[in-house]
Amino acid sequence: MATRSKSSQRWLKEHHSDPFVKKARAEGMRSRAVYKLEELVERDRLLRPGMVVVDLGAAPGGWSQWVRQELGDSGRVIALDILEMPPLAGVEFLHGDFREDAVLSRLEQSLGGKPVDLVLSDMAPNKSGVDAVDMPRAMYLSELAMDFADRHLKVDGAFLIKLFQGVGFDEYVKELRRRYAKVSIRKPAASRKRSPEVYALAQGKRAQIK
């Protein structure tokens, strides 16, 4: 059996001692990422009963699980991921690659022409470790998510997306500001400090792009 690298050993040690990992296990949540979403959503009271929420890059399902709990029996939660995701009660899951038109069409059909109140995107590409490769892949997914919100998010709706700081980041945030009345960049407590990830919360979708 191959021995683990020092970096993977360090990650495992950090992971098992991580207070958010321990909390997720204790509370029966699927991932520690749920506490990123909880902080981001509760600060601005983004969730209301009856909302239609689309969760892009949903697996393993922590965000969808938490949103479903918060909404109770009302509204819809539609989750999509290229990875398989074990079923969650009250969550509609679509399995497929968000970059493919056929998968987008299935998601659009599922919406049945009804607008979305909140779009969540925690999508990230498989990392190669080479920034010149990883950043364009990440930005491409981010642009697809913004296009989806352009088409399906209701006027005055909100869009929350994970972004990675690097080439293309500033331009992307500028594009968000053309589309939304308020854009905030946040780093929740559950986001590991050394990670280049941040979250952009865009609220108040404009009727027309500025």
- Cβ-in-10-Å burial (0-12, 13-18, 19+) of 174 comes to exposed
CA-based nearest residue to 49, from 35, 66, 67, 62 = 67
Is 63 part of any known ligand binding site? yes
Cis peptide bond prior to 136, omega within 30° of 0? no
Is 122 part of any known ligand binding site? yes
Cα–Cα dist 150/127, whole Å? 27
Find the angle CA(149)-CA(150)-CA(152) to the nearest 5 degrees. 60
The CA R_g of the chain, rounded to the nearest whole Å, is: 17
Q: 48: phi > 0 → left, psi -120 to 50 → alpha, else beta; which?
A: beta
Residue positions annotated with a catalytic role: 162
Is 61 part of any known ligand binding site? yes
Exposure of 66 in the CB half-sphere (CA atoms within 13 A):
24
Helix ranges restricted to H, the chain = 6-17, 19-27, 34-44, 62-71, 101-111, 131-152, 169-179
Cα–Cα dist 191/47, whole Å? 21
Cα–Cα dist 197/168, whole Å? 14
Is 150 part of any known ligand binding site? no
Is 156 part of any known ligand binding site? no
Residues annotated as binding site for S-adenosyl-L-methionine?
61, 63, 81, 97, 122
